[in-house]
Amino acid sequence: MALELYLDMFSQPCRSVYIFAKKNNIPFEFKSVSLMEGEHYGEEFGKITPIRKVPALRDGDFCLAESVAILQYLAEKFKTPDFWYPADLQQRARVNEYLSWQHTGLRWQGTKIFWLRVFIPKILGVDVPQDKLDGALEDLNGSLKLMEEKFIQDKPFIAGDQISLADLVAIVEIMQPVGSGLDVFEGRPKLSAWRDRVQAAIGKELFDDAHQIILGARESVKLMDHSKLQLFKPKILKLFL
Ligand SMILES: N[C@@H](CCC(=O)N[C@@H](CS)C(=O)NCC(=O)O)C(=O)O
């Protein structure tokens, strides 16, 4: 049985897993789980992971959740080139440092911008108050400043001269607010140059393939069935407003 990856390409961690598997020629079956359709609440997906979040992996009778764990599993199982997750103690620690930071340091900040600018107006039928947007933008700016000053510095990539899991996990998160129409690279030459290097290392075709859904989100969301999206309303009220 082929290794299965449960993915929704709206999701940043799903894109990192997808790009990693494709780039390393890891054979897998793409199992689509549409979050917008609420498929992650279904019975089948609940058997893969009771956490009910994508991405998830099934390899035979072994199921795994959490993108970082999945990336590390794939790197080790398929013995991908060392630079992705270096064996060198301090380089690996540098990758781990970023992977540990990003969940609270960048991921939420980028996700929040996307929801406030794209999904929430669609689902609630109102624009988000400007002070909420300004506050979220301020938080994202702080995260991007740390990206440049602490994680990238004057190196080509986060762990040094070559791309690693840290850069991959970072770029997919940074593309989320871009999907809301916010050009986070404008006025940030260091971040832009890093993005170009990461994109070149991944390959433009694969990068564009993985990001086409998020970059088309503003248009596709307009066509989504408003009544189905009401499923998200309680969560939005709790998390964002
Ligand atoms: N820490 C998890 C986060 C996974 C996650 O938050 N996935 C989101 C999509 S980006 C999800 O499935 N959300 C569904 C929900 O919360 O209902 C990882 O890195 O895999």
pLDDT score recorded for residue 148: 98
Q: What are the strands, taking DSSP E only, across 8-111?
A: 29-32, 56-59, 62-65
The CATH topology of domain 84-239 is Glutathione S-transferase Yfyf (Class Pi); Chain A, domain 2 (1.20.1050)
Tell me what pLDDT residue 229 has.
Answer: 87
Number of C-beta neighbours around residue 40 at 10 A: 20
From residue 43, how far is each of 36, 40, 224 by CA, in Å?
A: 16, 8, 23
Domain with CATH 3.40.30.10 in the chain: 4-80
Q: Give tens-digit pLDDT for 36-47.
A: 999 999 999 999
Q: Return mean pLDDT, the chain.
A: 96
4-80, CATH topology level: Glutaredoxin (3.40.30)
Sequence-ordered list of residues with C-beta below 8 angstroms from that of 113, at least 6 positions apart, any chain: 136, 137, 140, 176, 177, 180, 182
Q: Which helix (H) or strand (E) holds 6?
A: strand 4-7
For residue 69 the two structure tokens come to 């764990």
* Residue 89: Cβ-neighbour burial (10 angstroms; 0-12, 13-18, 19+): exposed
Q: Is-cis flag, bond preceding 55, omega within 30?
A: yes
- 146 phi, psi to nearest 5 deg: -65, -35
Distance between terminal CA atoms of the chain?
44
Q: Which two structure tokens, joined as six digits, stand for 18? A: 């997808």
For the CA of 35, the closest atom of ligand 1 is 14
R_g (Cα) of the chain, nearest Å: 18
Say how many Å lie between the CA of residue 208 and the centre of ligand 1.
22
Q: What are the pocket residues of ligand 1 if the criterion is a CB atom closer than 6 Å to any ligand atom?
A: 11-13, 35, 40, 53-55, 66-68
Return all residues near 112 (Cβ < 8 A) that are at least 6 apart.
Answer: 136, 139, 140, 240
pLDDT tens-digit series, residues 90-140: 999 999 999 999 999 999 999 999 999 999 999 999 989 999 999 999 999
* Rounded distance from Cα 118 to ligand 1 centre (Å): 18
Query: In testing the pocket of ligand 1, which one of 11, 32, 103, 229 has its CB within 8 Å of the most ligand atoms?
Result: 11
Protein residue closest via CA to atom 14 of ligand 1:
53
Cα separation, 27 vs 24, in Å, equals 9
71: left (phi over 0), alpha (psi -120 to 50) or beta: alpha
Phi, psi (deg, nearest 5) at residue 57: -130, 145
Give, using CA atoms, the residue closest to atom 16 of ligand 1. Answer: 53
pLDDT score recorded for residue 227: 87
Query: What was the pLDDT predicted at 12?
Result: 98
Which atom of ligand 1 lies at the shortest distance from residue 67's CA? Answer: 20
Low-confidence ranges of the chain (pLDDT < 50): none
Q: Using an 8 Å Cβ cutoff, are 94 and 151 in contact? A: no
Instruction: Pinpoint the residues of the chain covered by CATH 1.20.1050.10.
Output: 84-239
- How far apart are the CA of 161 and the centre of ligand 1, in A? 30
Q: Ligand 1 centroid vs 187 CA: distance in angstroms?
A: 30
Identify the pLDDT of residue 58: 98
**CA atoms of 54 and 32, how far apart (whole Å):** 10
Distance 66 CA to ligand 1 centre (A): 8
